[in-house]
Structure 1
Amino acid sequence: MLEANMGFEPDDALDIKFGKMLNYGEVYYPSWTQEAVSILCNLLSLTPPEHHRIPALSQQTLKEKTITILLTMLRALSQQQPMLFIVEDLHWVDPSTLEFLTQFVEQQTTGSILAIFTARPEFDPPWQSARISTLPLAPLSMDEAAQMTFSLSGDITTETLRRIVKRADGIPLFIEEIVKITTLDNQANLPTTLHDLLAARIDNLGSSKVIVQLASIIGREFNLDLLRKISLCNYHTLELHLSTLQDTGLILNINETTKQFKHALIQEAAYQSQTKSVRQTVHQRIAQVLQTDFPDVVTTQPELLAQHFFYGGEIRQSIEYWIKAGQRAARNSANLEAIDHFNSGLQLLMSLPSDPDRDCTEFQILVSLCPVLYATKGYGSEEATQTNARISALSERVDNSSELFLARWALLINTIASVGSYGVTEAAMHLLPMAHDDPLKKQAAHYIIADSAFWVGEFETTHAHTEQAITLYHPEQHQMLQEQFGENLSVSCSAYLSWALYFRGFPDQAKDVCEQMLSHARELAHPHTLALALCFATLLHRWSNKSTETLSLSLETIAISQQHDFSVWLAAGEMAHGWALVLHGHSEIGIAKLQSSITRMKASIGGISVIFLSALIESYIHLELYDKALSLLAEAQADEITTGDSHFTAELHRLKGVCLLGTSESNTKEAEACFSQAIAISRRQSAKFLELRAAISMARLWWHQDKREDARNMLEEIYNTFTEGFDSHDLQEAASLINL
């Protein structure tokens, strides 16, 4: 559409096309920015002059800005005159195109656009809008089929009409095509099925049959330059054949460079009219021509080459391009497409004989698959766990693989998320010597050590290793970190550093690190990294008892997670959102959100269940539902033992004490023991904020027991160790108790 509107010709040089694009923009979009010009150049495979270039954008930012520009252009055109916007066969749509169409449907526009989308019944549209009408297209009735037949030809006998109507089964294409081949001489020998009918139409094309067959192997939409290169016809002869096909109504003209079969069934019939060996040879020829003469297609559509090589019988080359397609999709944050492409490669790979080469390739694909599985299914999901189990089995056979470090790193991440952190920190320490002098792998090793240490309550270790990792980061590493580990590890390490600082009693530093981390993630605009940053910032505000900020950030976390199918961050966002809703008085909705988040958590990251359960426990306590809170506390403490997740052990003891006191005053002694245990554990962990909370609960108990001086002395001792954060909720509560 863009190329046609801008007046591109097939033989235009790139600078001519660029000039036409600028002229088009000046006439129709005078507000185009330099960034918009550069982004359109990328979309149209043009290289802008130096003075029109802008700094490189992340692939996700580029995609988002491209969608925004295309929507703006559609809106501008519709304000000049009413528009008809047609998209066919949505049952075959890819996720990125669906994202564009979803934004188109959901945006508010002042122009006049009639959008018509067609799809088979199995397509489930993701949008809901009062502006949309769904019109199921039932087969034509017998009367309608008869009327259509007569409108196309008045020379058909009554008996032939009856037979056409009966055989058509209400399908307009059948009626249209059968009328074209029906004459007074052959009305007794009509094809019985639509496939037979289309095959007969193709057989009657004469010398043009070969061209329609070649075009069908390219696809329903075919590039004319590619068709010329694979056919044996000269330019003039090919044009005559194409004109014949267009006159017969089998193909349609899209623009100067592209034509399309009128219906997918016509393309399928032309494709099936050839022997398998012929189709295979042509697929091979198409793939080879694409490789040598269409470098842009090789770069931007490796999945197209993968398909042609597959149908051409070149399995190994097909696998190679499926891997490239998966890697490209992952770079562009098209995670669902990446999973599909990698799985297509794996499926083909399993058809090859088992040998060391196959093992190495499978290992490579699975290691590349892990980050996108973590993003969409969850670090501890069943799919991720099964993938890592296979990687572990293969790692014994591919000891010299360059992906071995990535494989062990991915396995440790999955272990923490699926079964817990027992022994992971020690295993993670072995990654440091494996990293050698590679700064990216060093960051990854420090990160996994910090990650595992946090969940077992070793906050000083988390603090030390996150800081070491952050010092190794340079901005130019972002793309490589994203490709190898699925996220920007500088942001991830800053996220854990903010938590470690908070637990250790440095809330102001934690806040500063968190704000810088979130700002960095927004600048990078890598969806998975940003969702991670939003989640960590949300939970930091939750722990700080800032329910309004938690509410806002959790909504943002949920939105980006739903947009990109991030299961873990969606669960965490729902958890924080539910907690904040309860504190804002919306208890029924909040509790439902919390319970939903726990269900999601168990499917995606069950190895760190305590952080989810504790939010619901706190909500029950806020609502004075102490029996429910105690029941859930027992589950959380059992999970601690199973998984080794002890980052909140002290707080769970404190919350149990609060519940016991809320249940009955006779539980005073047991509650005091809980508070004492919480203080002891938090001191061992150097978790000053958890110690402060436990001390506040103990002080309140002692206050009611008339041990006010003991309460004041205990609180003053811990309060005086703080050097910052005196405006925080917990320190202000401690100060008010001290001054009573």
Structure 2
Amino acid sequence: MLSLSLDDRYPVMALAPARQRQKTLECVGGWLRREAERHPLVVVWEDVHWADPTTVELLAMLVNSPAPHTLTVLTYRPEFHPPWPDESGSARLQLGRLGRTLVQSMLDGILGGKPLPTEVVEQIAAKTDGVPLFVEEVTKLLIESGTVRERDDRYELVGPLGALAVPATLQDSLMARLDRLPAARDLAQLGATVGREFGYELIRAVTDVDDEQLRSALDQLVCAEMLCQSGLPPRSTYMFKHALIQDVAYQSLLKSKRRQFHDRIARVLEDRFPGTVETRPELLAHHFTGAGIPDRAGPYWRVAGERAVQRSAHLEAIGHLTRGLEQTALLPRHRRPGARGVRAADSARRAAGHDTRLRRLRGRACLHASAGTVRANRRLWRRWHVHGILRPVPPPPAARRIRAGTRSGR
């Protein structure tokens, strides 16, 4: 929200970044409160385990200071640990796997009330272990493969029960369904490289098929309920129905093909989508990283980190700057941009003081800076030392060499 451009009707408030960020979070909370005063609200946040740190902070604020007449529902995986205390008034419900009866109810919903043979239901319930997405995908696979056939008001098994092939894992089931759509599979893999969600204009720009073939492949994926569509081409957007579908499509790519896709996407974004480059440099950084081009990825990670610092998104800044330094470390020493590494660590210092992770960042940035000229690095070392940037941690070996060079006058 802080990166949205405003016209003259809405002048930018002269606030420090931290205060601006806090006001933004308070604004969202205030908006929900005002809506709740008009009518009761149910607010659902899905897949919180993938939320960025700022969103988690917003959720913590909403949970700790709930709006009246509001039911907030959050879904997340067990590995996510909420930052709000248990006594915050929230209740946690651990969802177990579906039993035989619930699997049957789910199948009735998928198949429009037309029953499967009892022995097929038993196989599905046993092999899927009650995982809802697995139940859904196996059922669709059995229908698409012709293993079961619709007949009047029911489905019947084609062939003996012993030949019923239920994939061993959910990933196998998803991959088997993709393999049955060869033309659409390639597009799904490209879309998965773009991300969980992508627009028609972008996918059209990076694919090498014509418009008619593209629309046909997208329609196949939508009809197979692997993608959800919003709007109509060329303004439509698509989202993988489940993150696991995207992951399976992406992981099925050969590494060389994956790098080609990332490279193509990054360059198309640079050439044709300047707005995205301006507002989401971390997206360009991600794709250049996936393409294995560290000299292009590093600067974008640095820009993304500095933008995060400006809006006081400290944890995001740490993540972006860390990845930028990791990309810089992949370059030959003579190609490492010394001053940029130091500026990245300076940005990290502004983000969150003397955090342990930031101390490591500062040390690594100084190490990368050692590839520059001794004279330039003398100035950088002095500036860091004078401003206290390096005092909390011992200088790395490269930094000691820089300081030794300064003392000896070399």
Report the TM range for the smaller structure's normalisation: 0.7 to 0.9
Is 1:391 the counterpart of 2:366? The answer is yes
> What residue number does 2:158 align with?
185
Counterpart CA distance in 2 for 1:242 and 1:382 is: 43
Deviation per CA, 1:140-166, whole angstroms, max 9, x where unpaired? 234533553455455533443332222
Report the CA distance between 1:383 and its aligned residue: 5.9
Percent same amino acid at aligned positions? Answer: 31
Counterpart CA distance in 1 for 2:252 and 2:103 is: 28
> What residue number does 2:322 align with?
343
> What residue number does 2:180 align with?
204
Counterpart CA distance in 2 for 1:235 and 1:297 is: 23
For structure 2, which runs of at least 5 residues remain unmatched after alignment? 143-147, 149-156, 395-405
Change (3 A) 1:81 1:254: farther
The DSSP-based 3-state class of the residue aligned with 2:374 is: coil
Change (3 A) 1:149 1:409: same
Report the CA distance between 1:106 and its aligned residue: 2.6
The DSSP-based 3-state class of the residue aligned with 2:44 is: strand
The 5 A counterparts of 1:131-280 are 131-149=89-107, 152-153=110-111, 154-182=114-142, 183=148, 184-185=157-158, 188-235=164-211, 237-253=213-229, 257-280=236-259
Match of 2:296, as an amino acid? Answer: Q
2:127, 2:166 within 8 Å by CA — same for their partners in 1?
A: no
1:339, 1:372 within 8 Å by CA — same for their partners in 2?
A: yes
> What residue number does 1:310 align with?
289
Identify which range, 113-122 or 232-241, moves more after superposition: 232-241
- Corresponding pairs, count: 372
Match of 2:258, as an amino acid? Answer: R
1:357 aligns with one of 335, 340, 355: 335
The DSSP-based 3-state class of the residue aligned with 2:67 is: coil
Change (3 A) 1:79 1:231: farther
2:313, 2:351 within 8 Å by CA — same for their partners in 1?
A: no
Counterpart CA distance in 2 for 1:418 and 1:231 is: 49
Report the CA distance between 1:233 and its aligned residue: 4.5
TM-score w.r.t. length of structure 1: 0.46
Change (3 A) 1:405 1:86: farther
> What residue number does 2:384 align with?
410
The DSSP-based 3-state class of the residue aligned with 1:84 is: strand
Change (3 A) 1:371 1:46: closer
The DSSP-based 3-state class of the residue aligned with 2:92 is: coil
Change (3 A) 1:351 1:375: closer
Change (3 A) 1:225 1:74: farther
Counterpart CA distance in 2 for 1:356 and 1:404 is: 17
Change (3 A) 1:393 1:65: closer
Report the CA distance between 1:173 and its aligned residue: 0.5
Match of 1:246, as an amino acid? Answer: V
Report the CA distance between 1:90 and its aligned residue: 1.8
Report the CA distance between 1:81 and its aligned residue: 3.8
1:329, 1:337 within 8 Å by CA — same for their partners in 2?
A: yes
- Structure with the greater relative contact order (CA < 8 A, sep ≥ 6): 1 or 2? 2
Deviation per CA, 1:59-115, whole angstroms, max 9, x where unpaired? 3343233323333333333344443322222222211222222222233423x4332
The DSSP-based 3-state class of the residue aligned with 2:73 is: strand
Match of 2:205, as an amino acid? Answer: K
Higher Rg of the two aligned structures? 1
2:359, 2:393 within 8 Å by CA — same for their partners in 1?
A: no
Change (3 A) 1:415 1:260: closer
Counterpart CA distance in 1 for 2:220 and 2:196 is: 17
The DSSP-based 3-state class of the residue aligned with 1:259 is: strand
Change (3 A) 1:385 1:272: closer
2:310 aligns with one of 326, 331, 355: 331
Counterpart CA distance in 2 for 1:155 and 1:338 is: 53
Q: CA RMSD in A?
A: 3.3
2:56 aligns with one of 76, 98, 105: 98
2:79 aligns with one of 114, 119, 122: 122
The 5 A counterparts of 1:716-727 are none
The 5 A counterparts of 1:327-726 are 327-353=306-332, 355-358=333-336, 360-361=337-338, 364-370=340-346, 372-373=348-349, 376=352, 378=354, 384=359, 387-388=362-363, 391=366, 395=370, 398-401=373-376, 405-412=379-386, 413-414=388-389
Report the CA distance between 1:263 and its aligned residue: 0.7
Match of 1:98, as an amino acid? Answer: V
TM-score w.r.t. length of structure 2: 0.78
The DSSP-based 3-state class of the residue aligned with 1:189 is: coil
Specify which structure has the higher proportion of helix: 1
Specify which structure has the higher proportion of strand: 2
1:213, 1:270 within 8 Å by CA — same for their partners in 2?
A: yes
Change (3 A) 1:392 1:131: closer
2:206, 2:264 within 8 Å by CA — same for their partners in 1?
A: yes
Identify which range, 154-163 or 191-200, moves more after superposition: 154-163
Counterpart CA distance in 1 for 2:367 and 2:173 is: 54
Counterpart CA distance in 1 for 2:244 and 2:273 is: 28
Is 1:294 the counterpart of 2:269? The answer is no
Report the CA distance between 1:344 and its aligned residue: 1.2
Change (3 A) 1:189 1:224: same
Deviation per CA, 1:363-408, whole angstroms, max 9, x where unpaired? 63245324534763628x696378449737955953343x754542
Identify which range, 159-168 or 406-415, moves more after superposition: 406-415
1:395, 1:404 within 8 Å by CA — same for their partners in 2?
A: no
1:370, 1:384 within 8 Å by CA — same for their partners in 2?
A: no
Match of 2:137, as an amino acid? Answer: E
Report the CA distance between 1:131 and its aligned residue: 3.3
The DSSP-based 3-state class of the residue aligned with 1:136 is: coil
2:63, 2:88 within 8 Å by CA — same for their partners in 1?
A: no
Match of 1:191, as an amino acid? Answer: P
Counterpart CA distance in 2 for 1:392 and 1:219 is: 33
Report the CA distance between 1:175 and its aligned residue: 0.5
Match of 2:335, as an amino acid? Answer: D
Deviation per CA, 1:335-363, whole angstroms, max 9, x where unpaired? 2222222221222333333x2222x44x6
Change (3 A) 1:185 1:137: same
